[in-house]
């Protein structure tokens, strides 16, 4: 029986942690509250790096799908969904804020 490498164990632990933490962040209803230190720390260590990876992968998917989007006439929609929204959540959202808070603050 093979034993798993330390990297594989670390990766599995990270995936399990993300699977347990991310749903909790998306369900949190803290629209008018200030982010807690735990929310800021979690955002810094876990959410922002994941969103940066989503932005990079989304940009690659957008470039691959660009000819098809151009033929379909929805280049703007594809760019917004695959690049702009993930980039805004990565770089423009306040530290520890949920997406709802970001949009709520835009309206003010």
Between 65 and 10, name the one with better pLDDT: 65
Question: Domain for residue 83, yes or no?
Answer: yes
Is the full-model pTM beyond 0.75? no
Question: Domain for residue 35, yes or no?
Answer: yes
Average pLDDT over residues 78-95: 89
Between 73 and 102, name the one with better pLDDT: 73
Question: Domain for residue 88, yes or no?
Answer: yes
Question: Domain for residue 73, yes or no?
Answer: yes
Question: Domain for residue 71, yes or no?
Answer: yes
The predicted pLDDT at position 35 comes to 85
Assess whether pLDDT exceeds 70 at residue 33: no
Assess whether pLDDT exceeds 90 at residue 89: no
Question: Domain for residue 5, yes or no?
Answer: no
Contact in structure between 56 and 83 (CB atoms under 8 Å) = no
Cα–Cα distance, 62 to 67 (Å, whole number): 9
The SS3 call for residue 30 is coil
- Residues spanned by the domain of 83: 30-107
Give the count of domains, the chain. 1
Question: Domain for residue 24, yes or no?
Answer: no
pLDDT band at 23 (very low <50, low <70, confident <90, very high): low
- Closest by Cα among 65, 64, 58 to 82: 58
The predicted pLDDT at position 46 comes to 93
């Amino acid at each position: 029986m093979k034993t798993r490498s330390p990297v594989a164990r670390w990766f599995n632990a990270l995936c399990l942690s993300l699977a347990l933490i991310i749903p909790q962040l998306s369900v949190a209803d803290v629209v008018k509250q200030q982010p807690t230190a735990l929310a800021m720390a979690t955002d810094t260590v876990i959410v922002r790096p994941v969103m940066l990876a989503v932005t990079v992968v989304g940009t690659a998917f957008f470039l691959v799908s660009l000819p098809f989007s151009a033929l379909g006439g929805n280049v703007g929609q594809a760019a917004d969904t695959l690049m702009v929204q993930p980039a805004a959540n990565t770089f423009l959202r306040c530290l520890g804020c949920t997406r709802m808070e970001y949009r709520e603050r835009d309206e003010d």
